Amino acid sequence: MKKKLSIVDIANSLNVSKTTISFILNGRAQEKRIGAELVERVLKFVEEVGYKPNPLAKSLRTGKSNIIGLMVEDIANPFFASIARLIEDRAYNNGYKIIYCSTDNNTEKTKDLIEMYRDRHVDGYIIAPPEGIEDDINSLIKAGFPVVLFDRNLENVNADYVVVDNLFSTYNATRHLISQGYKNIAYVSFLSSQAQLTQRLQGYKNALKEYNLKPIVKEVLFNRDNDVIMEPIRTFLKKRKDDIDAILFGTNHIGVCGLRLFSELGIKVPDDIAVVSFDDYEVFQLFTPPISAIAQPIVQIADNVITTLLSKLNSPVKDKSVKTITLSTELNIRSSSAPAKSNVVPV
Amino acid sequence: MKKKLSIVDIANSLNVSKTTISFILNGRAQEKRIGAELVERVLKFVEEVGYKPNPLAKSLRTGKSNIIGLMVEDIANPFFASIARLIEDRAYNNGYKIIYCSTDNNTEKTKDLIEMYRDRHVDGYIIAPPEGIEDDINSLIKAGFPVVLFDRNLENVNADYVVVDNLFSTYNATRHLISQGYKNIAYVSFLSSQAQLTQRLQGYKNALKEYNLKPIVKEVLFNRDNDVIMEPIRTFLKKRKDDIDAILFGTNHIGVCGLRLFSELGIKVPDDIAVVSFDDYEVFQLFTPPISAIAQPIVQIADNVITTLLSKLNSPVKDKSVKTITLSTELNIRSSSAPAKSNVVPV
């Protein structure tokens, strides 16, 4: 194996002090008033002998950092954690690293983070965007950065999107509950005007409308403290548990909060209330009874996100075309939505 | 609000082309053979007018990137995802960003990642280290980088550590099972010589020894595919389920794989087999019956890790002292380890 060249070796070969070499290689020649000719001579030499250049200095020159900025709502949420893991793997195999953060759906924090990423010369962005950052994303795109958005659409942002068919997913899940004989189906979710959540609500309403059933919607404010989320759901369930015979939960997070309350309130699934939740994961599979859930295609989401981004990053010419990839979900039917004891309605 | 100065404004004020200004501000003056005097004049001007300097160029000069490199075993594992989330929050509030990756406990990958992080001028490192990277970490420490290791110790690495008392945790959990009347207690975990796992195994053995009980150990190879992990556990359970009356699972991951098999094999918890698992999380809390688990103090782990790192990063003089912080765990006793139907032994 060839011995790795050190700064001392270069200094000796060129008969220049190692401090000077170090200043030049660390991009401090200007600051240290080192003449352009000497800089040129040193850079030429290190190129010839194959000295590994400082990648940060290189990134200043080439404008490439090989870092992708990933922004999810909450890295501790199993949906985002799983996607982040898959994106990270694919990125690593393609020579990219991931810098990540959780936005908490907080617009100001997200703006601040985008600014920080940009300052760090991130090559491309993968964002599950909160509302209110349309201008910031448009400005990234205008500046020529590849940006792939996922999980939710932003109106007025013409970027690449990878989303799932939220509207059909909840429409289909609600129809499933109706076909199992449930008539008083509540929808419990987070209060939000984010596209993915408004679409899920709409899908639920569309299905009920087809059967002339009345929507029963409970939306709660997002909070990082589960106890705070559970409080209004507890009140809702106490008040309405005898009127409703099924619940569709709009996210895995709210679904788990609901499940925690069922045993506390003595609600039996599916006898008292049948359940379907968005976002399948371990808890729903292992719960007794297992909970029917709308599974997002995690692998395909991650795959499409990173493939889209990499193809833009590696494109020799700026590729300004954008596309929206809409993936279908899968309704995993389990015992929590077994047929109601009353009559089953054919759908 | 003061209008943000643009490159054009600077160019006009100094009567220099904006391309030249841009080259200088982007650290390309050498490459473009721009004279040191002009560079000086431009840099002085932008300093006077408060033009925001390029942070990447700044980091080349100061050697600070305000990025912390985080390496966990698997960001999709709820234990690591929760800790990563908390570390990210604290880092963000202190002006640091997190670059992260999952090591898969793969030594080669981890070495490669450390190299990449180092190339990116990461300021400090937080690592749940696999074995075999002792030299790499020692070389980081020798180079003056703050490094905090967590979750497991590495022999021969003199760094800051944040760990839990693994030995006592499983000793205590095993004693709990014994006190509930169980006598044939198996330990099922990953085969590994990582410190945290060998300590957990030892704690289990220590407790059994005190009561003259025989260890029944099943260790399986780690794999990212759960089906592969479940296969040897399935064989083990099929063969031994009538001999054993309790199982202590060494990690949350293996615990969940075990739970998935119980219903398949018709094993009732705790009547057929009582269960305790390491690493409490949602699945164990919501399982029927709820699973007793050893809860690691996630918040305190994250807090101690980041506090230790930040204090080193912000220390005006190099602080070479290191410490090991060992945190206690909590055994959350639930129905899965209810007293055995046979006699209860006082402990």
Q: For the residues B122-145, what does the mean pLDDT come to?
A: 93
Q: A-chain residues within 8 Å CB-CB of B98?
A: 99-101
Q: Looking at the complex, does the CB of residue A295 fall below 8 Å from at least one CB of chain B? A: no
Q: For the residues B241-257, what does the mean pLDDT come to?
A: 96
User: Which range, of A143-157, A239-253, A308-322, B45-59, averages the lowest pLDDT?
Assistant: B45-59
Tokens 């200095």 locate to A57
The answer to whether residue A199 scores a pLDDT higher than 50 is: yes
User: Element (H or E) spanning A278, and its range?
Assistant: strand A274-278
User: Which of the four pLDDT bands, split at 50, 70 and 90, describes residue A26?
Assistant: low
The answer to whether residue B56 scores a pLDDT higher than 70 is: no
> Looking at residue A55, what is its pLDDT?
52
Radius of gyration of chain A (CA): 27
Q: What dihedral angle (degrees, nearest 10) is formed by the CA atoms of B2, B4, B6, B9?
A: 10
Alpha-carbon dihedral sign for residues B67, B72, B74, B78: negative
How crowded is residue B25: how many other Cβ atoms within 10 Å of its Cβ? 20
The answer to whether residue A53 scores a pLDDT higher than 60 is: no
Tokens representing A21? 């070499």
Q: Among residues of chain A, what percentage have pLDDT more than 70?
A: 92
Q: For the residues A273-295, what does the mean pLDDT come to?
A: 96
Q: B-chain residues within 8 Å CB-CB of A75?
A: 75, 81, 84-85, 88
- Partnered with residue B149 across adjacent β-strands are B127, B161
Q: Identify the three-state secondary structure at position B270.
A: coil
Considering A120-124, B32-36, B181-185, the range whose residues carry the highest mean pLDDT is B181-185
> Looking at residue A224, what is its pLDDT?
82
The answer to whether the peptide bond before residue A346 is cis (omega within 30 degrees of 0) is no
A 31-50 residues with CB < 8 A to B:
31, 33-36, 39-40, 43
Domains and CATH numbers, chain B: 7-62 (1.10.260), 67-163+298-328 (3.40.50.2300), 166-296+331-337 (3.40.50.2300)
Render pLDDT for A152-178 as a digit per residue (tens, 0 to 9).
Answer: 989 889 999 999 999 999 999 999 999
Q: Shortest Cα distance from B208 to chain A (angstroms)?
A: 30
Q: Report the complex ipTM.
A: 0.75
The answer to whether residue A327 scores a pLDDT higher than 50 is: yes
Q: Shortest Cα distance from B214 to chain A (angstroms)?
A: 31
> Looking at residue A10, what is its pLDDT?
83
User: Which of the four pLDDT bands, split at 50, 70 and 90, describes residue A6?
Assistant: confident
Q: For the residues B83-89, what does the mean pLDDT come to?
A: 94
Q: Looking at the complex, does the CB of residue B327 fall below 8 Å from at least one CB of chain A? A: no
Considering A15-29, A61-75, A101-115, A252-266, the range whose residues carry the highest mean pLDDT is A252-266
Render pLDDT for B302-315 as a digit per residue (tens, 0 to 9).
Answer: 999 999 999 999 88
- The stretches of chain A forming alpha helices (DSSP H) are 7-14, 18-25, 36-49, 55-62, 78-93, 107-119, 134-142, 166-179, 195-210, 226-240, 252-265, 282-286, 298-313
Contact B286 A283 (CB under 8 A): yes
> Looking at residue A227, what is its pLDDT?
94
- A247 versus A52: which is more confidently predicted? A247
User: Which of the four pLDDT bands, split at 50, 70 and 90, describes residue A57?
Assistant: low
Q: Shortest Cα distance from B73 to chain A (angstroms)?
A: 11
B 296-325 residues with CB < 8 A to A:
none
CA-nearest residue to B35 within chain A is A36
Q: Which residue type is seen at B184? A: N
User: Which range, of A267-281, B12-26, B99-113, B322-336, averages the lowest pLDDT?
Assistant: B12-26
A 209-248 residues with CB < 8 A to B:
none
User: Which range, of A200-214, A330-344, B240-254, averages the lowest pLDDT?
Assistant: A330-344
Tokens 């639930």 locate to B334
> Looking at residue A347, what is its pLDDT?
57
The answer to whether residue A208 scores a pLDDT higher than 50 is: yes
- Per-chain mean pLDDT for chain B: 89
Q: Shortest Cα distance from B104 to chain A (angstroms)?
A: 10
The answer to whether residue B259 scores a pLDDT higher than 80 is: yes
> Looking at residue A245, what is its pLDDT?
97
The answer to whether residue A136 scores a pLDDT higher than 50 is: yes
Show Cβ contacts of residue A122 under 8 Å, excluding neighbours closer than 6 positions.
Answer: A65, A67, A68, A69, A99, A145
> Looking at residue A195, what is its pLDDT?
92
Q: Shortest Cα distance from B121 to chain A (angstroms)?
A: 7
> Looking at residue B1, what is its pLDDT?
34
The answer to whether residue A2 scores a pLDDT higher than 50 is: no
DSSP B31: T
> Looking at residue B289, what is its pLDDT?
95
Q: Looking at the complex, does the CB of residue A208 fall below 8 Å from at least one CB of chain B? A: no
User: Which range, of A102-116, B160-174, B290-304, B311-325, averages the lowest pLDDT?
Assistant: B311-325
Q: For the residues A233-241, what does the mean pLDDT come to?
A: 96
CA-nearest residue to A91 within chain B is B101
> Looking at residue B330, what is its pLDDT?
97
- Per-chain mean pLDDT for chain A: 89
Q: For the residues B152-159, what does the mean pLDDT come to?
A: 90
| DSSP string over A142-205 | HTT--EEEESS--TT---EEEEE-HHHHHHHHHHHHHHTT--SEEEEEE----HHHHHHHHHHH
User: Which range, of A105-119, A133-147, A325-339, averages the lowest pLDDT?
Assistant: A105-119
Q: Shortest Cα distance from A347 to chain B (angstroms)?
A: 32
Q: Shortest Cα distance from A205 to chain B (angstroms)?
A: 30
Across the interface, of A30, A89, A256, the residue whose CB is closest to B30 is A30
User: Can you tell me the distance from the alpha carbon of B56 to that of A59, in angstroms, rounded to the nearest whole number?
Assistant: 9
| DSSP string over B94-144 | TT-EEEEEE-TT-HHHHHHHHHHHHHTT-SEEEE-PPTT-HHHHHHHHHTT
Contact, A202 vs A209, CB < 8 A? no
User: Can you tell me the distance from the alpha carbon of A148 to that of A311, in angstroms, rounded to the nearest whole number?
Assistant: 11
Q: B-chain residues within 8 Å CB-CB of A286?
A: 256, 259-260, 283, 286-287
Contact A56 B28 (CB under 8 A): no
Q: A-chain residues within 8 Å CB-CB of B225?
A: none
Contact, B215 vs B204, CB < 8 A? yes
Contact A120 B67 (CB under 8 A): yes
> Looking at residue B2, what is its pLDDT?
41
CB-based burial label for B336 (10 Å; 0-12, 13-18, 19+): buried
Q: In what order do the strands lie in the sheet with B147-150?
A: A324-327, A160-164, A147-150, A124-127, A67-72, A97-102, B97-102, B67-72, B124-127, B147-150, B160-164, B324-327
Show Cβ contacts of residue A295 under 8 Å, excluding neighbours closer than 6 positions.
Answer: A279, A280, A329, A330, A331, A332
Contact B56 A55 (CB under 8 A): no
> Looking at residue A216, what is its pLDDT?
98
User: Which of the four pLDDT bands, split at 50, 70 and 90, describes residue B52?
Assistant: low
Q: Of A130, A162, A125, which Cα lies nearest the Cα of A296?
A: A162
Q: Looking at the complex, does the CB of residue A57 fall below 8 Å from at least one CB of chain B? A: yes
> Looking at residue B343, what is its pLDDT?
53
Pairing of strands A124-127, A147-150: parallel
B 255-284 residues with CB < 8 A to A:
256, 259-260, 282-283
User: Which range, of A325-329, B222-226, B287-291, averages the lowest pLDDT?
Assistant: B222-226
